[in-house]
Amino acid sequence: MDLLLKGGWVVTHERVEQADVAIKGEKIAALGPDLEAPGATVRDVTGKYILPGAIDAHVHYQMPIGDLLTADDWFTGTRLAACGGVTTVIDYAEPSGPEEPLTQSLAQRLAEARDQACVDYGLHQVVMAGQEEDSQELKKVVEKGVTSFKVFTTYNQRLSYAAIGRLLQQARQLGAMVTVHCEDHEIVTAKRQELEAGGRTAPAYHATSRPADAEIQAIQEVIRQAGEAGAPVYIVHVSTGGGAAAIAAARAQGRQVFGETCPHYLLLTDERYASPDCRLFLMCPPLRTAKDNRDLWQHLAGGDLQVVATDHCSYSPEQKAAGTAFYNTPSGVPGTETLLPLLYSYGVSRGWLTLPQMVRVLATNPARLFGLYPRKGRLAPGSDADLVVFDPRQEVTLQAAGLHSAAGYTIFAGFSLQGYPEATYLRGRLVYDRGQFLGQAGQGKFIPGQVSTS
Ligand code: URP
Ligand code: ZN
Ligand code: ZN
């Protein structure tokens, strides 16, 4: 054995038990009480939780939008992930336009990440208009280990609902998952025109410009398309109680509809858009109401939403300040580093989630949905030794200064946390310890997804 974590509380997706964890090379070798490991490095983790490393299934590093590039690149993005107890991230391979072959955009994205990533990573493949017809390219992408596609119902790269339906059919044949950004383009366009006509274009109108109904109607239509195609579907960044309710209703009928939400939709409201720093909180879809926060927690606790991810898409305050209107302010916020501690303090400690439920929404479920399980998302012998030593007694007040995003700010400034990651192990290697990043660029590996065989 190489490493023994001794005396802690092991949290799996099923239970919490007092057990030691032995690691050999990159894998978990044994789990149980009073393990002996002669010659191994021993870490006393008495009073701490041992969790499987979190998976942030929705991040955007060095993403170009117009002339801008997000503040976090593959190195800073995955470094801050390690510091927050996130050992796998899933980013996007995105063609520069519908004419760029999917496989070309995938090769380019893999090349960008290879020497820079500090934690393991997977990719979702963005599919643009017309590319949903190209079964050969879709198949090649899946064969290369990218088993999920991403489409948008709005933005320039949008697909029509009918095209999403065609992609769902292709994905069903390939055993792949289609993930969808749901905001109805017609509703969003009409709202923008109405606001522009009234001269109400300031960033403060962001939430008004993208109403809850735009999300709810898009989710309903995408679920309908998935039903016709007989395919599973995954809705990213659900921001509304109504959207989550649509997913819950489909699931109640036995449908394979899955939903992801983000900490900002659980914990922040659109009141932030009334403040002078509203641009820092501008993301799509926008923040909603306190009732939506509660409804989302309820749907998460009830199992109708399966994943909490962050949609980490960071711009600095200087980049954000260039925005003069809701439609030209860089959209997106940093979040990966605070994912786990926020879910613990505001999900587990407040009674919404049990510890195993937290492990499911942060690790096991995304690993299963995106073909990484049981290598990732499972704390058991044979799985990668991606582990977090979590100290439930450490008190932290979130501030940008304690965090590692190149964006230089956090939307959760001032949030009190009871509990914080003490150490992170990536495949058995210590990459973060008590405030210090100890990892290296290039040590993160691409983890190919496996298609579902069921
Ligand atoms: O505003 C956001 N969320 N930016 C990132 C791209 C997306 O829509 O997920
Ligand atoms: Zn999106
Ligand atoms: Zn996103």
Task: Give tens-digit pLDDT for 49-87.
Answer: 999 999 999 999 999 988 899 999 999 999 999 999 999
C-alpha–C-alpha distance, residues 66 and 63, integer Å = 10
State if residue 153 touches ligand 1 by the CB under 6 angstroms criterion: no
Residue 125 CA: distances (Å) to CA of 91, 131, 151, 237, 344: 9, 11, 9, 17, 30
C-alpha–C-alpha distance, residues 353 and 351, integer Å = 6
C-alpha–C-alpha distance, residues 368 and 364, integer Å = 6
Residue 386 CA: distances (Å) to CA of 4, 124, 377, 451: 13, 21, 8, 22
Across the beta sheet with 307-308, what order do the strands follow? Answer: 54-56, 86-93, 120-126, 148-152, 177-181, 233-235, 257-261, 307-308
Q: 293-312: per-residue pLDDT in tens?
A: 999 999 999 999 999 999 99
Numbers of helices and strands, H then E, in the chain: 14, 21
Spatial CA neighbour of 265 closest among 278, 284, 251: 284
Q: What's the mean per-residue pLDDT of the chain?
A: 98
Residue 16 CA: distances (Å) to CA of 3, 168, 301: 21, 38, 18
From 11-20, 22-31, 64-73, 203-212, the region with the lowest mean pLDDT = 64-73
Tell me if 138 sits within 8 A of 170, measured CB to CB.
Answer: yes
pLDDT at 453 over 70: no
Which of 94, 155, 235, 283 to mutate for ligand 1's pocket (most ligand atoms within 8 Å of CB)?
Answer: 283
Nearest CA to ligand 1 atom 9: 311
C-alpha–C-alpha distance, residues 348 and 365, integer Å = 17
Q: Which residues pair with 3 in a beta bridge?
A: 23, 41
pLDDT at 454 over 80: no
Find the helix or strand (DSSP H, E) in which 356 lies.
helix 355-359
Report angle CA 322, 324, 325 to the nearest 5 degrees.
130
Structure tokens at 384: 């990668």
Spatial CA neighbour of 414 closest among 400, 394, 427, 403: 400
Q: 326-369: per-residue pLDDT in tens?
A: 999 999 999 999 999 999 999 999 999 999 999 999 999 999 99
Residue 452 binned pLDDT confidence (cut-offs 50, 70, 90): confident
State if residue 50 touches ligand 1 by the CB under 6 angstroms criterion: no
418 C-alpha to ligand 2 centroid (Å): 30
Which pLDDT does position 231 carry in this prediction? 98
Beta strand spans in 298-386 (E): 307-308
Residue with tokens 């959207």, as numbered in its chain: 243
Which pLDDT does position 101 carry in this prediction? 98
Count the Cβ atoms, other than its own, within 10 Å of residue 136.
10
Structure tokens at 15: 């239970």
Please name each of the domains of the chain with its CATH number: 3-51+380-405+413-437 (2.30.40.10), 53-369 (3.20.20.140)
C-alpha–C-alpha distance, residues 381 and 400, integer Å = 37
- Scanning 230-309, the segments in alpha helix (DSSP H) are 241-252, 263-267, 290-301
310 C-alpha to ligand 3 centroid (Å): 8
Ligand closest to 309 (CA) is 3
Residue 167 binned pLDDT confidence (cut-offs 50, 70, 90): very high
Torsions phi, psi for 280 (to 5 deg): -65, -20
Torsions phi, psi for 24 (to 5 deg): -125, 120
Nearest CA to ligand 1 atom 6: 332
Which pTM value belongs to this model?
Answer: 0.98
Tell me if 285 sits within 8 A of 237, measured CB to CB.
Answer: yes
Find the helix or strand (DSSP H, E) in which 257 lies.
strand 257-261
Tell me if 379 sits within 8 A of 387, measured CB to CB.
Answer: yes
C-alpha–C-alpha distance, residues 118 and 121, integer Å = 9
Q: 107-160: per-residue pLDDT in tens?
A: 999 999 999 999 999 999 999 999 999 999 999 999 999 999 999 999 999 999
Which pLDDT does position 436 carry in this prediction? 98
Q: 243-271: per-residue pLDDT in tens?
A: 999 999 999 999 999 999 999 999 999 99
State if residue 207 touches ligand 1 by the CB under 6 angstroms criterion: no
280 C-alpha to ligand 1 centroid (Å): 13
* Cβ-based neighbours of 434, under 8 Å, separated by 6 or more: 422, 423
421 C-alpha to ligand 2 centroid (Å): 28
State if residue 80 touches ligand 1 by the CB under 6 angstroms criterion: no
* Three-class SS state of 22: strand
End-to-end CA distance of the chain: 36
Q: At what angle do helices 290-301 and 241-252 cross, to 10 degrees?
A: 30
Spatial CA neighbour of 337 closest among 277, 404, 418, 278: 404
Which pLDDT does position 66 carry in this prediction? 86
State if residue 212 touches ligand 1 by the CB under 6 angstroms criterion: no
State if residue 287 touches ligand 1 by the CB under 6 angstroms criterion: no
- Residues written for the chain: 454
Torsions phi, psi for 196 (to 5 deg): -65, -40
State if residue 170 touches ligand 1 by the CB under 6 angstroms criterion: no
Nearest CA to ligand 1 atom 7: 284
Which of 56, 58, 59, 60 to mutate for ligand 1's pocket (most ligand atoms within 8 Å of CB)?
Answer: 60
pLDDT at 163 over 70: yes
Which pLDDT does position 226 carry in this prediction? 98
Nearest CA to ligand 1 atom 4: 332
